[in-house]
Amino acid sequence: MPQPRIPLFLDCDPGIDDAIALGYLLCQDDVDIAGIAASGGNAPVEQTTRNALGWLQLAGRTDICVHPGADRPLAQDADYALETHGETGAGYARLPLEGLPPSDTDAAHAWAAAARAHPGELIGVLVGPATNLALALDLEPRLPQLIRRLFIMGGAFNYRGNTRPTTEWNVTWDPEAASRVIAAFGQAYIAGDAPYAPVMAPIEATEAVVMTPERLAKIRSRGDLSPNRTPQWSTWLDQLAAALRFYFEFHEWDGHGYLAHIHDPYVLAAAIEWARQAETTGKVGRAGNDRDPFTTIATDELRVSDESIRAVEPDRREVMARGDTTPVPWAETTQAAVDIELTGTLTRGETVADWLGRWNRPANAEIIRRIDAESFLDNLTEALQKGPGGPTQP
């Protein structure tokens, strides 16, 4: 029986850890890349778009579309993390300067088109600011029903920030966009219009995922896992090492030691592995809810009436009706009501979770609290060491 395909849309702002995520994605042969969106964030959008294109071209994947996105947040001026990722957003890496052009379709329209093309199946992964997806919601309000599940790298819950004292970079870059996305996807889950809560991976969890020079050397080595590695992929890894050298230096300057927190690849990998496990085990839907989550996205009772949504396979309908859930891989999670602070003079952009139920609101997000970083990093190491050519073992 052929392995199920996983359609996935990645929204990123490359960025050095974004580049690792892109490399990991290219190594997953059972994933159909429905598109890659670039956002302003770690660098201006023109640069992040060039970086995404450059990393893809370096890997020989000129078939993948990169969709340029928003150049500024919805309600504030843009800021960039050039001290963290370098003037080009790629550290010391030298990426191709000419060649692969960006798509004529902007990121917001690309989100909407990908979701319509894969109703109920598309995995959405957001590892940059939420601006593109927020704008896509204006174009297609049904996105929370069309997208199978959304995975978000962002936030800091009761934790010191990496941008302001209590805030994380992606959310801080565009708090209004993050608020809009969490509200839309969370409300769809609460209402029963979508079977899954959005997953949030905040920095207090993802900072456990640490790249070291020793692990990087293992990735670049030619061991038993990489007998068929191509010279092209070795060149790709050489440039990733150059990018990471800058990232190591920044983290050392910032007081963390000569290492790098690599948030983004974990979130992407968790999304892919979650989709694989959901297909394999048939655990689809929400825990503790006696409503058929399929019905909420597949009948005329609710807002979504698109014929393509109602065409999901009948055998999946039976699976979804059971109300089982598939855990987020390599993680311990909890559900809570989440909101974004938009007006605080000291805390604008802070993600707030109502752990004690004081708001009397239902949970609208699944929050990753702890990550089995070593197990994930072993998976990442294996994937990058092998290079494109097959999925790794979980």
pLDDT at residue 228, as a whole number:
73
Positive or negative: CA dihedral 327, 332, 334, 338: negative
Asked if 392 and 27 touch (Cβ cutoff 8 Å), the reply is yes
Angle at 60 between CA 54 and CA 62, to 5 degrees: 70
Q: Is the dihedral of CA 391, 32, 320, 148 positive or negative?
A: positive
Predicted structure pTM score: 0.89
Residues of the chain scoring pLDDT < 50: 284, 286-324, 390-394
Task: Please report whether residue 217 resides in a domain.
Answer: yes
What domain range includes position 338? Answer: 6-386
Residue 393 is assigned to a structural domain of this protein: no
pLDDT at 282: 60
Report the DSSP beta bridge partners of residue 167.
164
Active site residue 263: yes
Count Cα atoms within 13 angstroms, Cβ side, for 65.
18
299 part of a folded domain: yes
CATH number for the domain harbouring residue 117:
3.90.245.10
Residue 391 lies inside a defined structural domain of this protein: no
Q: Answer yes or no: is 392 within a domain.
A: no
Of 67, 85, 118, 263, catalytic? 263
Q: What distance in Å separates the CA atoms of residue 384 and residue 371, rounded to the nearest whole number?
A: 20
Q: Say which residue the tokens 């928003």 belong to.
A: 70
Position 367 in a domain: yes
Q: What pLDDT sits at residue 4?
A: 87
The pLDDT value recorded for residue 368 is 98
DSSP 248-294: HHHHHHTTS-S-EE-HHHHHHHHHHHHHHHHHHH---S-TT--S-HH
Q: What is the DSSP string of 195-221?
A: SSPPEEE-HHHHTT-EE-HHHHHHHHS
In a domain, 150, yes or no: yes
Task: List, in sequence order, every residue forming a beta bridge with 9; answer none if it has no partner.
Answer: 35, 124
* Number of structural domains found in the chain: 1
In a domain, 394, yes or no: no
